[in-house]
Amino acid sequence: MKSFSESYKEAGVDITAGYKAVELMKSHIAKTLTKGAMSDIGGFGGLFELDLTGINKPVLVSGTDGVGTKLKMAFLMDKHDTVGIDCVAMCVNDIICCGAKPLFFLDYIAVGKNYPEKVAKIVKGVAEGCVQSGAALIGGETAEMPGFYPVDEYDLAGFSVGVVDKDKVLNNKTIKEGDVIVALKSSGVHSNGFSLVRKVFDVENANIKTPIAELSGKSIGETLLTPTKIYVKSALKVFDKITVKAVSHITGGGFYENIPRSLPHGFSAKIERDAVDVLPIFDLIAKTGSIAERDMFNTFNMGVGMIMVVNKEDADKTVEILNANGEDAYVLGEIVKGDEGVIIC
């Protein structure tokens, strides 16, 4: 006998909708399963068998994050199949900053009302993010919470675990003056700063679906929903051949907050302003909102989603490897002595 409660349904929670959502998402989840994934969706825990071949001292690295108020854009555009990529990206891009390879991912979706087809679209995006990062989607939770969320809205968060050999954890203590900073281009605003973005464009009241010349004919809504770039596979290719000293994932807080997090005391990042390949969306945000450049670099990625610090003699090879693996990479600046954190000049 299948589980069903008429009383629970009258209170706003439809158990059968949850079952249908799980069935609809199974085909997407199947695309993510890697060798270590052991469990079927629907159990009480996600199982993953560790393959420690070539790893002498395994260290687990975890990351958790959500999509934030970028979800408001998904609601306004009624497009729900890409925010899952953002959710995965915000976790796995953090994990690789330690030199680790993501192993698996779990998501958490809280909805005002469970519309199975919508939930399946969300999970489709999560699955795509997992495929892009090589992580298995081994579990998750969909919580129907009537009265807590509006019926057409939801929240989305996730959690990932990776592994790295202790001897290969990135060591910023080897950073020295003259080391080179390599930039990995972003795909757009990614998933940070959207409280400011939404205010600047007044997205709840403006027509965000009209094509804009400055955005190559795309609308503001379409441009802002561009998924966060996932750098895992290209970064791992670099780690295999180059001694990378530090990696920074440029998220909320922009250059000024995130780059210093990966630098040791006594060293700063000197960024060549003219070298920064600023994407058109950031120029439009600054112009529309009359936002000072200092604030832009302290809020957004400005077209740089990640940076790597390498020896000067390894810089060209690093850029070459990244570009050969689908990135748009270039030299952004260098490491200098000092405690300024970030110097943009």
- Mean pLDDT within 167-183: 97
In this prediction, residue 300 has a pLDDT band, given cuts at 50, 70 and 90, of very high
List of E strands, 45-175: 58-66, 101-111, 136-144, 154-165
pLDDT over threshold 80, residue 256: yes
Any idea of the CA torsion for 91, 92, 95, 96, to the nearest 10 degrees?
Answer: -150
The pTM of the full predicted model, rounded to 2 decimals, is: 0.95
In this prediction, residue 341 has a pLDDT band, given cuts at 50, 70 and 90, of very high
pLDDT over threshold 90, residue 13: no
- Mean pLDDT within 146-156: 97
pLDDT, position 2: 64
Residue of 94, 161, 186, 90 lying closest to 129 (CA atoms): 90
pLDDT over threshold 90, residue 93: yes
In this prediction, residue 8 has a pLDDT band, given cuts at 50, 70 and 90, of low
Helix pair 194-201, 280-289: axis angle to 10 deg: 60
